[in-house]
């Protein structure tokens, strides 16, 4: 269920879109270098040390947005790294359900079960789109509105704790992807991935009619299976609901640069007017996303932890040091054949932060 926020409500909450861009909660300046705090100590203590340098920005009820790892994935951020931070802040761990078919991560209860099984049993967990989604004005090139989990509005401060690693379409996945795809409802994820009609293979259909009854666009017919592209709104519910996986995400239906532009637009809409802090953990750097149960083993050594109040700066600093450590100009271009650098350029061009940063080693 979508709860629409009117433009009037948005302006009341943020002080107008233009003013929201200048909110002191996010660094939007283009000239001065932003501070990024770094440690090579990838441990609970290391995370607390870098967080200590940005903690003054924390207020009110705190959420830590993270990824609990797909079943079989070994490389997600481990619970022992976040436990003490969550305890100190009395924080809730937040996540959203996924678009692809997963035994665990399509539904709130099983998603939380998997998180507990992976060791995230020390803090409350909120699957923020389980009760519905909200519509947020975007005023972008690709989107006039974006769709995020409804419970985003339950939190005064959101710390994006992001695993910095590879991604097949985005080159790498870090904070920008954790904010955009990570906070999007299934409807929003579909809009991000595609343009946006699911692929389908009608030979697997058992005529249960669940897709037909749950399609908000009334776009599906099943004798034979067909989607009317004029009616499909790209919500992705047929992908989640079909018991025989007739439908699939059209992952490759949008070019990689457009996909990255979309991620940046979503990130802008999600962050504006919200107190957002960013911690990247560049460890267990697989070339694959944490959604992959089969993710390949890390292709390089661990790099460290980065914290900032500036989304662009924390991504740029993380990518630069990954490249330097791996000894190439673009590590993800080399291993994934996709450069993730355009994500950062797009986010910068949208005013989401500084390309200039000052890396401060906290030991
Ligand atoms: S949900 Fe899947 S199996 Fe059921 S009717 Fe639709 S396509 Fe066929
Ligand atoms: S993506 Fe949504 S609107 Fe499109 S066919 Fe599937 S359920 Fe219907």
Can you tell me the distance from the alpha carbon of 199 to that of 234, in angstroms, rounded to the nearest whole number? 11
**Is it true that the peptide bond before 10 is cis, omega within 30 degrees of 0?**
no
CA of 346 to the centre of ligand 2 (A): 29
Residue 247 alpha carbon, nearest atom of ligand 1: 7
CA nearest ligand 2 atom 8, residue: 215
pLDDT band at 88 (very low <50, low <70, confident <90, very high): very high
CA of 251 to the centre of ligand 1 (A): 20
Residue 209 alpha carbon, nearest atom of ligand 1: 5
Can you tell me the distance from the alpha carbon of 328 to that of 191, in angstroms, rounded to the nearest whole number? 33
Can you tell me the distance from the alpha carbon of 206 to that of 186, in angstroms, rounded to the nearest whole number? 24
Residue 220 alpha carbon, nearest atom of ligand 1: 6
Residue 206 alpha carbon, nearest atom of ligand 1: 3
CA of 137 to the centre of ligand 1 (A): 34
The whole-number pLDDT of residue 293 equals: 85
Q: Residue 178, SS3?
A: helix
The answer for residues whose C-beta is within 8 angstroms of residue 183's C-beta and 6 or more apart is: 65, 96, 128, 148, 149, 152, 266, 270
Nearest to 278 by CA among 305, 259, 303: 305
222 lines ligand 1 (CB under 6 A): yes
Give 8-55 as a DSSP string.
Answer: HHHHHHHT-HHHHHT-TTS---SSSPEEEEEES--SHHHHHHHHHTTG
Residue 251 pLDDT exceeds 70: no
The whole-number pLDDT of residue 167 equals: 87
Structure tokens at 7: 């433009």
Q: Please check whether residue 69 is in contact with residue 180, taking contact to mean a CB–CB distance below 8 angstroms.
A: no
Residue 222 alpha carbon, nearest atom of ligand 1: 5
pLDDT band at 13 (very low <50, low <70, confident <90, very high): very low
CA of 211 to the centre of ligand 1 (A): 5
Residue 15 pLDDT exceeds 50: no
Residue 61 pLDDT exceeds 70: yes
DSSP strands (E only) in 121-255: 125-127, 133-137, 145-149, 157-163, 165-167, 171-173, 199-200, 220-222, 225-227, 247-248
**Ligand 2 site, CB within 6 A:** 198, 215-217, 219-220, 227, 232-238
Residue to mutate (ligand 1; options 222, 232, 237, 239; most atoms within 8 A of CB): 222
202 lines ligand 1 (CB under 6 A): no
Question: Residues 330-347: what's their mean pLDDT?
Answer: 92
Question: Residues 240-257: what's their mean pLDDT?
Answer: 76
The whole-number pLDDT of residue 14 equals: 39
Q: Please check whether residue 95 is in contact with residue 70, taking contact to mean a CB–CB distance below 8 angstroms.
A: no
Q: Give the containing element (helix H, strand E) for 306.
A: strand 304-308
Domains delineated in the chain: 2-21+47-184+256-361 (3.40.50), 197-248 (3.30.70.20)
Counts of helices then strands in the chain (DSSP H, E): 13, 17
CA of 248 to the centre of ligand 1 (A): 12
CA of 255 to the centre of ligand 1 (A): 29
CA nearest ligand 2 atom 6, residue: 238
The whole-number pLDDT of residue 170 equals: 84
CA of 188 to the centre of ligand 1 (A): 22
244 lines ligand 1 (CB under 6 A): yes
The whole-number pLDDT of residue 267 equals: 97
5 lines ligand 1 (CB under 6 A): no
Residue 214 alpha carbon, nearest atom of ligand 2: 7
82 lines ligand 1 (CB under 6 A): no
Structure tokens at 221: 């017919």
DSSP strands (E only) in 40-168: 62-65, 92-95, 125-127, 133-137, 145-149, 157-163, 165-167
Residue 218 alpha carbon, nearest atom of ligand 2: 8
| Number of C-beta neighbours around residue 111 at 10 A | 21
Nearest to 313 by CA among 274, 252, 360: 360
Mean pLDDT across the chain, nearest whole number? 88
CA nearest ligand 1 atom 7, residue: 205
The whole-number pLDDT of residue 306 equals: 98
Structure tokens at 139: 């005023």
Is the pTM here over 0.75, yes or no? Answer: yes
Residue 207 alpha carbon, nearest atom of ligand 1: 5
Can you tell me the distance from the alpha carbon of 226 to that of 220, in angstroms, rounded to the nearest whole number? 6
């Amino acid at each position: 269920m979508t709860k629409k926020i009117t433009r009037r409500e948005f302006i009341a909450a943020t002080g107008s879109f233009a003013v929201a861009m200048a909110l002191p909660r996010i660094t939007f300046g283009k000239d001065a270098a932003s501070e990024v705090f770094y440690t090579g100590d990838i441990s609970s203590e290391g995370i607390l040390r870098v967080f200590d340098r940005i903690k003054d920005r924390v207020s009110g009820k705190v959420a830590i947005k993270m990824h609990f790892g797909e079943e079989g994935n070994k490389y997600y951020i481990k619970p022992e790294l976040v436990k003490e931070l969550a305890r100190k802040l009395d924080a809730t761990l937040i996540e959203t359900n996924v678009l692809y078919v997963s035994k665990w991560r399509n539904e709130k209860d099983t998603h939380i079960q998997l998180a507990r099984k992976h060791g995230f049993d020390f803090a409350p967990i909120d699957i923020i789109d389980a009760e519905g989604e909200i519509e947020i004005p975007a005023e972008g090139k690709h989107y006039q509105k974006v769709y995020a989990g409804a419970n985003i509005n339950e939190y005064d401060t959101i710390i994006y704790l992001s695993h910095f690693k590879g991604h097949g379409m985005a080159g790498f996945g870090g904070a920008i992807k954790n904010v955009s795809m990570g906070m999007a409802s299934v409807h929003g994820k579909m809009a991000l991935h595609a343009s946006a009609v699911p692929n389908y293979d009608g030979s697997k259909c058992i005529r249960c009619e669940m897709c037909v009854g749950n399609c908000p666009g009334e776009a599906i017919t099943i004798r034979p299976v067909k989607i009317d592209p004029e009616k499909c709104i790209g919500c992705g519910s047929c992908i989640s609901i079909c018991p025989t996986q007739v439908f699939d995400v059209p992952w490759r239906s949008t070019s990689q640069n457009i996909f990255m532009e979309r991620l940046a637009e979503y990130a802008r809409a999600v962050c504006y007017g919200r107190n957002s802090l960013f911690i990247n953990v560049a460890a267990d750097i697989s070339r694959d996303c944490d959604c992959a149960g089969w993710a390949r083993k890390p292709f390089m050594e661990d790099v460290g932890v980065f914290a900032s109040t500036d989304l662009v700066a924390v991504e740029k600093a993380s990518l630069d040091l990954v490249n330097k450590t791996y000894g190439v100009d673009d590590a993800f271009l080399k291993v994934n054949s996709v450069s993730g650098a355009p994500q950062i350029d797009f986010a910068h061009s949208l005013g989401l932060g500084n390309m200039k940063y000052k890396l401060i080693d906290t030991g």
